[in-house]
Amino acid sequence: MDYGDSPDEAAFRTDLRAWLAEHVPPPPPPLWETEATHHYKVSWMRALYDGGWVGLSWPAEFGGRGLSPLYEAILNEELGAAGVPNAASSVSFLGRAILEYGTERQCHAFLPKLLRGESTWCEGFSEPAAGSDLASLSTFAERRGDVYVVNGQKLWTGGAQYADRCLLLARTDRNVPKHQGITTFILRMDAPGITVRPILQVWGGTRFCEVFLEDVEVPVEDRLGREGQGWNLATVVLAYERGPTELGVVATHRAELARLAGKLSDHDTAADEAFGRAWAAVEACRLQLLEGLTRRAMGEPPGPASSVGKLLMIRAEQMLGSLEFDCADETAVTGEDQLPSTRYLWSRAASVYGGAEQIQRNIVAQRVLGLPRR
């Protein structure tokens, strides 16, 4: 067992820190300023790309460096500690989908731009009637010669208003079991028939959108993988949504804990216990993620155990969000300081996005503990 860096990893971290010391931008805008946040992230991604820090674990052929996923984790850990956003998660998991399922042409057409931050993607998975039961999605893509004609509606599509491409799941066959009739497409967001409507969230931002699709034409060459492969692809993508990126989130949690420690008074044992509890939850999450990362570095694909990591993440995130709100004074309620309530409310979303807490528990119960299905 070794929780430390290997000599190569340590050298990488040293170089990265030196680069960050020179290039870290001012702190990001607050979460509720969606537009400013988007532009901030895009310019930060380009700076990271110019520094050579994007696509570390990608093949060199597509502009990557062919390193182990551990280096992605180190990168995200250092970015989180420096208080700047992670390497865009779209790069790590949407890119992964193209890498694993894309044709030669698709890889060359999409991957380099994705890496350089020149192209922004969104993920068109959930629908109004297909949330936790994603496989029951009903957006339909009908083959007509060289194009598919898509009709339907997507929901919770993050960043759809800024994206130029969408990784879209649509049904292509209604006559097979629901998991087998789904296909993935790469959709141009400027195609005729697409309407994007941002949704105002409880913390004030408009990070998520509704996307309406009306007779949208997608060329056959923009189908990703074969017809009916969509469900497997989505599973791979969702699994890669976790892992190295999450360590970056944990690093931001650690930075937040350090800030909150400065707010603790000397004689409030209840606050001390709440702080210690949040600290332990963050550590448990971080250290368990390292186990998953070790498995990933050994070449094992992410499995049901990643749901355990997600559940530990939810606990840490929500404990911290509550602690932040509880440590705040009256300005959190008067609205003079919006940060504590925003952090708190955002933490409530942690048990919803990326597969609701209850779905993760089903996975752990049935696929980790082996409890019987009904």
- Would you tell me which residues interact with other proteins (CB under 8 A)? 1-6, 9, 70, 257-258, 261-262, 264, 266, 269, 271-277, 279-281, 283-285, 287-288, 290-291, 293-295, 297, 305, 308, 311-312, 315, 358, 360-362, 364-366, 368-374
CB of 155 to other proteins, least distance (A): 25
Active site residue 241: yes
Closest CA to 355 of 125, 167, 128: 125
Closest CA to 85 of 159, 149, 146, 147: 159
CA pair distance 59, 75, nearest whole angstrom = 17
CB of 293 to other proteins, least distance (A): 7
- Catalytically annotated residue among 72, 241, 246, 317: 241
With respect to other proteins, which residue has the nearer C-beta, 107 or 365? Answer: 365
CB of 351 to other proteins, least distance (A): 12
For the chain, the straight-line distance linking the first and the last C-alpha, in angstroms and rounded, comes to 40
Lookup: tokens for 358: 């209850």
Q: If you write DSSP's letter for every residue of 36-67 in order, what string do you get?
A: HHHHHHHHHHHHHHHHT-SSTTS-GGGT----
With respect to other proteins, which residue has the nearer C-beta, 249 or 257? Answer: 257
Question: Does an H or E element contain 344, and which?
Answer: helix 339-349
CB of 280 to other proteins, least distance (A): 4
With respect to other proteins, which residue has the nearer C-beta, 87 or 285? Answer: 285
Q: Residues 54, 97, 288, CA angle at the centre, nearest 5°?
A: 70
DSSP, collapsed to helix, strand or coil, labels residue 303 as: coil
CA pair distance 109, 105, nearest whole angstrom = 6
With respect to other proteins, which residue has the nearer C-beta, 168 or 257? Answer: 257
CB of 344 to other proteins, least distance (A): 20
With respect to other proteins, which residue has the nearer C-beta, 91 or 313? Answer: 313
Active site residues: 241
